[in-house]
Amino acid sequence: MRRNPMLCRIQSQARMPGRWRSELAAVLVTRAQLEQRVRELSEMIQRDFADRELVVVALLTGTIVFLADLIRRLTLPLRLDFIGVSSYGNRTVPGQLNFTKELRLDVCGRDVLVVDDILDTGQTLSRVLARLRLLEPRTIKVCVLLEKQARRTEKIQADYVGFSVPDLFVVGYGLDFAERYRNLPFIGVLKREVYQAS
């Protein structure tokens, strides 16, 4: 089900709103590109799950903006639930993974679509998928907005990928650094000095 994730090229500095120039090095994915790709992803999901009732399981908190845009484009019947995981404190390297919210919907025998913001080392999604499998859903598919192939340590692939991005720390459109930048309407590259300073 994996279909040509777009490989990102860094956009020119000229597109960066002035407000963010001191903290962000570049715009990686523009608002228009996000809109277009989310539309494509929703069309694929709509086609693949036609006539089925989906349980969308989104990982908190980085998915919120992407998830809202994605599901409002779906017309198939779906139920939505969240799993809370946190693996980052104020750092940009993976740490210990904590489950902060458990699933409440019963997914036994259901078709589950797991939505995450970014597939990086794969440790988060591997742990989440292992936990979900114990609940015996009929199928599990994974949809991520971004993936960084360079840092993968787990044997895991997403079924739907928005964009493949280089090994840079990115923020915006739901993705954060220390809970900031989630509200940016584009994906930007955080300057090294910003995360090295904290």
Per DSSP bridges, beta strands 54-60 and 111-119 are parallel
Note if 167 is an active site residue: no
Q: Which of 124, 137, 140, 172 binds ligand IMP (CB under 6 A)?
A: 124
From CA 32, how far away is CA 34, in angstroms rounded?
Answer: 5
Q: Of these partners, ligand IMP, Mg ion, none, which one is at the site of residue 94 (CB under 5 to 8 Å by kind)? A: ligand IMP
Question: Is 30 one of the binding residues for ligand IMP (CB under 6 A)?
Answer: no
Binding part of the chain for ligand IMP, among 18-26, 43-51, 131-139, 170-178 by CB under 6 A, reads: 170-178
Q: How crowded is residue 71: how many other Cβ atoms within 10 Å of its Cβ?
A: 18
What 3-state class would DSSP assign to 81? strand
The long-range contacts involving 165-172, CB below 8 angstroms and separated by at least 24 positions, are: 165/8, 165/28, 165/29, 165/118, 166/8, 166/10, 168/28, 169/92, 169/195, 170/28, 170/118, 170/146, 171/24
Q: Which of 28, 49, 62, 188 binds ligand IMP (CB under 6 A)?
A: 62
Catalytic-role residue among 120, 159, 167, 176: 120
As measured in angstroms, the least distance from the Cβ of 13 to Mg ion is: 27
Name the residues that contact ligand IMP, by CB under 6 A: 62, 87-88, 94, 116-124, 169-171, 175
User: Which residues form the catalytic set?
Assistant: 120
Name the residues that contact Mg ion, by CB under 5 A: 62, 117
